[in-house]
Structure formats: structure tokens, C-alpha cells
Structure 1
Amino acid sequence: MSTATPVAALAQRVRDRLAALHPGVSMEELETLPGGHSGLTYSVTAGEAKYVVKAVPPGQRPVGRNDVLRQARVLRALAGSAVPVPGVAAVDDSQPAWFAMEFAVGQAVEPVLDEPEVPAATARARMLDSARVLRSLHVADVRGAALNSPEPSDPTCELERWSRTMHAVPVELRPGGEELLARLAEDVPDGLPPVLLHGDFRLGNVLYVGERATAVVDWEIWSVGDPRIDLGWFLLFADHHNFPQLGRAVPGLPTEAELLDAYRDGGPELPAMDWFRALGRMKMAAIMGHNLRRHREGKHHDPDQERLPPTIAAMIRTARDILG
């Protein structure tokens, strides 16, 4: 059987379900959206309404990043909260599973890494605002939601998980990595009460119109755990010096200290933030090292990966500097 047949059948299921929400309105064909990192991602228009559809690829299991239904669960749990998320319009758990959410307008631009460039003042305002959005996520009360949450991740679990990823990277691609892992393990902080985590919170995953956040997107790896895990990751995108050969200077971006103040919003200081800032850099080094290894082994050909070694080294070096 050709692969086009099950995909066409999936598309028909989506169109039939959404057509029922818009009787008498013309349904357009599904269009593949580029750049998706989980499952299949489409856009579809019904009259004046537009949706994004995420689906499990036919023939694949709905696990990990392909588990699109867990994304729908977290979006529904956050509906009506202070966290801007797309509304979920339809969910279909028959295989291959899919869900449809409202199409959110806006730009998702990481100022020090992405094109197109945005005005420096706009980038600054967005970054400060996104710190407040992250705070809203971490204080959101989703205890009554049917999230089927994973076990909460504390600092020890997080370090063990990412240490395994780092150890899978060849030693020559992670200079100083062993020393960094050892220093992180020397002084693991106590955990804070677990909250809902995005897992990859940064401006590249928040849509903005002007200086207004319209939607937090890309919820493939949400979890529950220590809020400083999200925060340490978010902060490392504030400085282009963390990304040699990849990043660019953007004048006036807030410092990590300013972002922390915006996140706290007058609340108490967060203990052991330096440890989590270093952890975020270790995670980035591990991810980049993993991607570079796959490229060099021929598992995923991408010559751009050869630009990563200076950034991997910088992430490890600055993490060690942060730890003193």
C-alpha cells in the first residue's frame, strides 16, 4: 500500500470532523506546514476559520514527540488561564490520532538566533513579557485537569537524564564536559514544589503581534517539575555570546538578571539559580553534540551542524564559569 493512501484517509477524517463544526461552509484541502518537529502538521481553512492540525504519522506509534494527544491535553488544561494558548477545536483518538487547534497569528522569533530581525526595542519588550508569561505558566492551577502527567522531575532526575545524553556524545565533541557534569553533581540543590513545565520555553516558541503574546506553542515535551528547569533554559537565550558563529548581537536585550526580576514580579529570590543556569547550558551542549554526532555518522545529513563546535565549547565553558 502506498504511503499516500493512509495520509489521504487521515486528511479526509480531519476534513469531515471540522466540516461538522462549520455546516454549509467550504472546507479547503489540508496544507503541510513546514518546520514541524512532532508528527504531521497541517493547516486547513473552513470559511473564515483557520486551524492547525497535528497528527501521528500513519504507521507510527503515538509515543514521545508523536504523542499529539498529550499536547491537546495540556492546551485544554491551560484554556482560560493567563497563559495564551490556541484553543483546541477537535480531538480524535482513533488511530492515527490527531487534534485541531485554532490558528494563532504572530511571529515566533528568537532575537539572537532567528530571522527575520525585529526592532531592538520590540525584541526587548517581548523578552521581558515572555518572562512574565513563563511565570503565569508556573503559577497556573491545573490540578483538576485530566493531564495524565508524568512523574515530577526534580533537579537530581533532570541532571541524571541529561548526563546520559551528554555521555552519548563523543568526548572530542564536548571539551570539559566531564568536569562540568562532576561539578553539577557535587552540589545538586533541593527541589522546589513542582509546576507545569513547557520544556522548551523561549521566544522562538511564543507568538507575538507587536509586543503582545498571542500563543505559546510547541508543547511536545511539557512535563511537571521544578520551575527553575524552564527558567534556566529560557535565560541562556538572552546573550548572543553563548552562541559563537550562530548568534548575533541585539542591542538593548534584557540581561539575565532583568529577566529574573520580570519573572519574579516582586516575589522572593529563587535559590540556586546559578546551578540551573549552568544546567541549561549543559543541556544545550548535549543536544548540539547529539545532533552533530548524528550528522557525522551519516544518520542525519546537515552540513550546518559543523558550525556547532564553538557553541558547544562555549556552553560548557560558561556553565563552568557560572559555577565558580
Structure 2
Amino acid sequence: MSTATPVAELALRVRDRLALRHPGTLIGELATLPGGHSGLTYSVTAGEQKYVVKAVPPGQRPIGRNDVLRQARVLRALSGSAVPVPGLAAVDEVQPAWFAMEFAAGEAVEPVLDEPEVPATTARARMLDSARVLRALHGTDVSGPTLQAPEPLDAAGELERWSRTMHAVPAELRPGGEELLARLAEDVPDGLPPVLLHGDFRLGNVLYVGERAVAVVDWEIWSVGDPRIDLGWFLLFADHHNFPQLGRAVPGLPTEAELLDAYRDGGPELPAMNWFRALGRMKMAAIMGHNLRRHREGKHHDPDQERLPPTIAAMIRTARDLLD
């Protein structure tokens, strides 16, 4: 019986697989990558080549955000497509499963929220280009066996799922939230043909070198469903006014209308976009309310969460305005 630690066992498995890919090359040690929100994430070198390793945490089930094989499937399905993604180097389905992908060097900066600031002209070009990347993603064939696509997600299902998250937030942390949920439920739009969805598509999850997208990352919650679900979320990050006390003005950043035009590329108007824009705001309010609740209950101490109430209120208020 092995007495090695889970990390040591993982390192040995990674080393053996990468050695087959790079015979005679020194394979480095696993180094924890900060900022990951799912599974275990490491970097490792094979000579001058660098990889990112994502693995199921020991003792945890490979479901949800820990299902790294599901993430590997979408990367394989998009390999060679118009959507830039890191190349897969190795996939090991033996539990606890893991995969290695090429390390993509670049910046993933949300212009109105993140540091470091990027030049305004660069931020504008990246956001417009990301709209085109999102269109390419939504044009991906989801019927192939590689993807093993789940059941499509429609507007009603997305609303139901995020309503549960919102209801888990104390009422005092989501002023006007009940009215917003009721308004959304009153007029759920008919669906569009399902497409491949990223689930958290925004500039913070697209690596850029200059004005060129080199990799779309963080595929933990990809799904198949109505394209407007991704779009409503993406558009949310175009305006710093959506994030009081958190966001900053970026001169010349594209408006939501400009981003929609870039996405459509001359195609037909998308119906009911205001409903999906409101849905995106509701989702953000629910996420922030959940994080603030966890902080105040002592489950995840982070004083920075106390900056969120004005943004939560603004998300709910502007969502209701959109539905008017």
C-alpha cells in the first residue's frame, strides 16, 4: 500500500505521463497556482514547456466544479476551432482524475474591475474582440460525441436555478430581490436553439496578448443552452456604473449595444435581450449576496465583502428598470 501523500502521488502520475510526451526531459515539481476556485490547480514544467494541471481533490467526488474530465472534454472539442483554448497535453481518467493543458501566457483583466489597468484603447479592442470570440463559441457544433453535451439549459431552468441561490441570501441583503424574481418569472422568453455556453464568459476569463485573444479559460461551468444566457452575463461588465464602489470608468469602452452589434456581426436582432440582461444582474446580485452572507456568518472571513451592498442593490434596481 502506498504511503505517499495525495499530492506526491499526483506528482508521480503527472511526471510519468509528461515524460512520455517529453522523453529525456527533466519534469519539474508541481507548484500550486493561486486563484483557482475549483479542484486543485498546479503548474509544472517539462524542460522549457510549461503546463497547468487540474485535478480532483483527494476524497472528493468528481462532480460539478471538481469534474475535471468534463473540463477536458470541452477543451478537446474546441481544439483547432475559432475559439482559442489551451491545448491538452494529457488526460488521466483514473480517479482522482486529472488533466494537463498547455500554459497560456497572457492577461485576463476585467477593465472596470481588475488591476492592473490596461490602456483604454486596448480594453476597448479586447472587449469587442471577445464579443466575436463568444459568437464563435456559440457557433460550435454541440452534437459530436467528444463533447457529450448535457441536456440544454433554457431560460426557465436558469431562472429557477438562480432563484434558489437568491432565496438563500437573507432578504435584508437583497433589497427588492423578491419583486425582481417575480417580474422575471412573469414573462420568461421563448428559447433559441441551444449552443455551447461558457457560463462565465467575460474578459476576466479570456487571456490576451495585446489585442489578440490567446485562450478562453475557466470552463468549470460550461453547459449547452440559450446563447442569450452567456450574452446577458458578458454585457454586464461593460459599464462601471453597474458596480458602485467597486468599478471604475474606462473611457471609450464599448457600450452594451456596440457589443451586441459586434456579436451579431450583421445577423438578426436577438429578441428579449433586456430579460437576459436583467437575469445576468440577478445572478450577480445572488452571487455577491451569497459571498457577503458567508462573510458575515464567519464561514469565509473577508472584510472586502462589506463593499458589496451598494452593488447588490444597483444590480437589482437596474434589472427591474430593464424589465420596465
**TM-score (structure 2 length as normaliser):** 0.98
Match of 1:267, SS state, is coil
CA separation in 1, counterparts of 2:269 and 2:278? Answer: 18
Q: Deviations over 1:72-119 (max 9, x none)?
A: 000000111100001111000111110000111110000000000000
Could you tell me whether the CA contact under 8 Å between 1:77 and 1:145 is conserved in 2?
no
- The equivalences for 1:152-231 within 5 A come to 152-231=152-231
Report the equivalent of 2:54. Answer: 54
Match of 1:153, SS state, is coil
CA separation in 1, counterparts of 2:255 and 2:316? Answer: 20
Tell me by how many angstroms 1:142 deviates. Answer: 3.4
The answer to whether the aligner puts 1:84 opposite 2:84 as a matched pair is yes
**Residue type matched to 1:110 in 2?**
E
Q: How many residues align?
A: 324
Match of 1:215, SS state, is strand
Report the equivalent of 1:113. Answer: 113
Could you tell me whether the CA contact under 8 Å between 1:86 and 1:104 is conserved in 2?
yes
CA separation in 1, counterparts of 2:59 and 2:304? Answer: 30
**Residue type matched to 1:74 in 2?**
V
Tell me by how many angstroms 1:11 deviates. Answer: 1.1
- The equivalences for 1:83-102 within 5 A come to 83-102=83-102
Report the equivalent of 1:323. Answer: 323
Could you tell me whether the CA contact under 8 Å between 1:112 and 1:248 is conserved in 2?
yes
Could you tell me whether the CA contact under 8 Å between 1:71 and 1:219 is conserved in 2?
yes
CA separation in 2, counterparts of 1:263 and 1:290? Answer: 31
Structure 1, 125-134 or 25-34: larger mean CA deviation: 25-34
Could you tell me whether the CA contact under 8 Å between 1:78 and 1:142 is conserved in 2?
no
- Unpaired runs of at least 5, structure 1: none
CA separation in 1, counterparts of 2:17 and 2:59? Answer: 21
Report the equivalent of 2:290. Answer: 290
Match of 1:59, SS state, is coil
Could you tell me whether the CA contact under 8 Å between 1:31 and 1:44 is conserved in 2?
yes
Tell me by how many angstroms 1:4 deviates. Answer: 7.4
CA separation in 2, counterparts of 1:219 and 1:144? Answer: 18
The answer to whether the aligner puts 1:36 opposite 2:36 as a matched pair is yes
Tell me by how many angstroms 1:27 deviates. Answer: 1.0
CA separation in 2, counterparts of 1:234 and 1:105? Answer: 22
CA separation in 2, counterparts of 1:265 and 1:4? Answer: 55
**Residue type matched to 1:169 in 2?**
V
Taking a change above 3 Å as real, the CA distance of residues 252 and 318 of structure 1, as seen in their structure-2 partners, is: same
CA separation in 1, counterparts of 2:50 and 2:298? Answer: 39
Tell me by how many angstroms 1:147 deviates. Answer: 2.1
The answer to whether the aligner puts 1:256 opposite 2:256 as a matched pair is yes
Report the equivalent of 1:8. Answer: 8
Report the equivalent of 2:149. Answer: 149
Structure 1, 139-148 or 188-197: larger mean CA deviation: 139-148
- The equivalences for 1:63-74 within 5 A come to 63-74=63-74
Match of 1:65, SS state, is helix
- The equivalences for 1:231-242 within 5 A come to 231-242=231-242
**Residue type matched to 1:267 in 2?**
G
CA separation in 2, counterparts of 1:221 and 1:82? Answer: 20
**Residue type matched to 1:224 in 2?**
V
Could you tell me whether the CA contact under 8 Å between 1:197 and 1:223 is conserved in 2?
yes
Q: Which runs of 4+ in 1 moved over 3 A?
A: none
Q: Deviations over 1:177-216 (max 9, x none)?
A: 0111111111110000000000000000000000000000
Could you tell me whether the CA contact under 8 Å between 2:76 and 2:146 is conserved in 1?
no
Using the aligned pairs only, state the percent identity. Answer: 89
Match of 2:295, SS state, is helix
Structure 1, 291-300 or 126-135: larger mean CA deviation: 291-300
Tell me by how many angstroms 1:134 deviates. Answer: 0.2
Tell me by how many angstroms 1:49 deviates. Answer: 1.3
Could you tell me whether the CA contact under 8 Å between 2:142 and 2:149 is conserved in 1?
no
**TM-score (structure 1 length as normaliser):** 0.98
